[in-house]
Amino acid sequence: MGAAALGPAMPRFASAQGHSRLTLQARAAEISLRPGQPGTSIWALQGSPPDPALRFKRGDELEVAFQNDLPVATVLNWRGLAGIPGTEPLTTRQPVSPGGKENLSIALRRAGTFLCDLRLLGDGQARPLPVRPVIVAESDPLAIDREQVFLVEDWRLRPDGSPIAPGLDPADAPAIYTVNGQMTLDIAARSHERFRFRFINGCQRAAIALKIENHEVRVMALDSEPTEPFPARNGAMVLAPGGRADAFVDVSALPGSASSILLHDGKDARPIGRLIVAKDEPPLRDAALPTPPPLPANGLPAQIELKGALRIDVTVGRPQPEWVLPVRFVSSAAPAFRAKAGRTVVLALANRGDIPAVFHLHGHHFRVLDRLDDGWKPFWLDTLAIDSGQTQRIAFAAEHSGHWLMEAMATDWAAPRFVRWYSIE
């Protein structure tokens, strides 16, 4: 357990010479979760014209105009856009009141798969909230044939079909999973075609594993940051809630075949999509493409100096007085720690709860340390699932000055989301 409804109308954006404008609207929407029955009412982040994801290029200057047409205050939460203080919710940006508007500028300095959502204040509200993928493409083209966003989200419904928001007891309501807002997703392909899959766990609380049967999945990036390419263990991608994984998949199945895409939520494995190889089309090329090189680096350091690091113990998984609900957050509260810019910070994350917990760090990406602090896992993350009773140590170089949030929650639908903050000076 370690390392969306995409509505019918999507955000409007325009780009010219690296300057992009994005209009987002929080409003009531519907998603089809019960075949042959009326749609389920949700709250969503929308705009126009339709597009499956918000797509930009590395280096773009993004101007965002946001309007809140919900009956409650809300705040945009950008996951993975490290080092941009102006985007930080609660510490820098206050919630937008019903009917209110907000404008902000974002310098897209890094490529990757990011998320934008309204969930930070969403626990226990009248309706659940999906997430929105934000894609920032590399400056130079890559050796791929096609890109596929694969956003998995979960939903709970009462017997009358009304939705249950996270943070509320779902009783015996089973989980309903969607991919890109659909109950299942068929992806057409050709033999020897190379896909770049952007796998996203948009579930409210659940950690999941995703696997494409009979295909090797080569991991290229985790949580928006490139990694040395490696094959997924047993072909499965394991993602914490909010986790992202970019993977290259070379279609190896024969024409006319279909490979199931399986989802495992820790209880059951179920098909949630298919990779269907065209029967009447020849292979895209005579042989598969060669093993891909790593994705272009985003500028994170190759080494972290652990000697002299600031070391902080952080308890998650059960209520602690230092952790507060987002709606009760005040910036006058004492920070979890203060660190000088440029210093290494090591956090010992101890899960004292009875079930796995999820930790999300704003502002920075981190390395997961080996048990003896004599090295680290060869990838960067911003989100980590921690098993019950375990302690995981993470380290990051505090390179971005500002006031940043930390989030923690248990992997249970009814579990509340908690926040704290830290300061880099």
Q: Which residues, at least 6 apart from 196, have a Cβ–Cβ distance to it below 8 Å?
A: 142, 144, 146, 147, 148, 220, 246, 247, 248
**pLDDT band of 52, cuts 50, 70, 90:** low
Residues 348 and 377 both lie in one domain: yes
Please check whether residue 301 lies inside any domain of the structure: no
Contact 104, 84 (CB under 8 A): no
**Binning pLDDT at 50, 70 and 90, where does residue 45 land?**
very high
Q: Can you give the pLDDT at residue 48?
A: 52
With a pLDDT cut of 90, the percent of the chain lying above it is: 87
Give the single-character DSSP code of 230.
E
Are residues 154 and 261 located together in one domain of the fold? yes
> Are 268 and 336 contained in the same domain?
no
Asked whether residue 304 is assigned to any structural domain, the reply reads: no
Cα 208 from Cα 203, distance rounded (Å): 9
With contact defined as beta carbons under 8 Å apart, do 368 and 2 qualify? yes
Structural domain harbouring 97:
12-137
Instruction: Say how far apart CA 115 and CA 113 lie, in whole Å.
Output: 7
Q: What is the pLDDT of residues 393-417, one digit of tens each?
A: 999 999 999 999 999 999 999 999 9
Pair (330, 221) in one structural domain:
no
Query: Same structural domain for residues 151 and 270?
Result: yes
Gyration radius (Cα) of the chain, Å: 21
Residue 5 in domain: no
Last residue of a domain, one of 112, 137, 162: 137
User: Is 295 among the domain residues?
Assistant: no
Determine the 3-state secondary structure of 36 from DSSP.
coil
335, with CB counted inside 10 A (0-12, 13-18, 19+), is: middle
Whether residue 221 lies inside any domain: the answer is: yes
- Pair (94, 208) in one structural domain: no
Q: What is the pLDDT of residue 302?
A: 87
Query: In the numeric block, which tokens belong to residue 361?
Result: 């760090």
Q: Give the domain-ending residue among 118, 137, 156.
A: 137
pLDDT tens-digit series, residues 336-354: 999 999 999 999 999 999 9
Residues 81 and 45 in one domain: yes
119 and 170 fall within a common domain = no
For the chain, how many structural domains are there in total?
3
Amino acid at 418: F
pLDDT at 166 over 60: yes
Question: Which of 55, 66, 62 is CA-nearest to residue 25?
Answer: 66
Mean pLDDT for the stretch of residues 31-39: 92
Residues 210 and 265 in one domain: yes
Q: Quick one: pLDDT at residue 51?
A: 58
- Per-residue pLDDT at 374: 74
What is the distance of C-alpha 76 from the center of its chain?
Answer: 14
Choose one of 84, 102, 137: the last residue of a domain: 137
Residue at 44 is within a domain: yes
Are both 152 and 272 inside the same structural domain? yes
pLDDT one-digit tens code per residue, 174-217:
999 999 999 999 999 999 999 999 999 999 999 999 999 999 99
Q: Which two tokens stand for residue 425?
A: 């000076």
d(CA 278, CA 211): 20
- pTM for this model (two decimals): 0.93
Pair 168, 121 in one domain: no
Average pLDDT over residues 320-346: 95
Give a yes or no: residue 289 inside a domain: no
Q: Cβ neighbours of residue 42 under 8 Å, at least 6 residues apart?
A: 5, 28, 29, 30, 31, 127, 128, 129, 130, 163
Q: Please, which pLDDT band fits residue 49 given cuts at 50, 70 and 90?
A: very low
Q: Which of 262, 294, 278 is nearest to 192 (CA)?
A: 278
403: domain CATH number? 2.60.40.420
